[in-house]
Amino acid sequence: QVQLVESGGGLVQAGGSLSLSCAVSGGTSSTSTMAWFRQAPGQEREFVAAIFRGSRSYYGDSVKGRFTISRDNAKKTVFLQMSSLKPEDTALYYCALDNRLILSSLWDPIHYDYWGQGTQVTVSS
């Protein structure tokens, strides 16, 4: 049973930085695809970033150059370093994992089998 637990959310002023963590337990490997999504009230879940099969990183257009995804395989943890935060980054941020994802499905949340409970990020103007 795979479990994902996010942490690190909070309130930050615009222009500030915040780091999220996602601890993974259960059936995962260094080649699992790990991703971050976010969802604001009344909006669809949006792709933020992912490390595809343990190698290359991908980012959503709205966060490129500001967010960085990384992972520590030994600690089974994935991180999301967020900088130059904007009020429009305010959302519930989710960690997701899949062990069989193909690249064309990377951006679509429906293809991920495992999800964390989410951590709130609020950016004040």
State the pLDDT at residue 11.
Answer: 98
Average pLDDT (7-14) is 97
Q: Contact at 8 Å (CB) between 114 and 1?
A: no
CB atoms within 10 A of CB 75: 11
State the pLDDT at residue 31.
Answer: 84
Main-chain phi, psi angles of 87, to 5 degrees: -55, -30
State the pLDDT at residue 27.
Answer: 75
Model confidence at 73, in pLDDT bands (50, 70, 90)? confident
CB atoms within 10 A of CB 65: 8
Q: What is the mean pLDDT of the chain?
A: 95
Average pLDDT (71-85) is 94
Q: Among candidates 37, 89, 46, 43, which has minimal Cα distance to 66?
A: 89
State the pLDDT at residue 80.
Answer: 98
Model confidence at 30, in pLDDT bands (50, 70, 90)? confident
77 has pLDDT over 80:
yes
State the pLDDT at residue 50.
Answer: 98
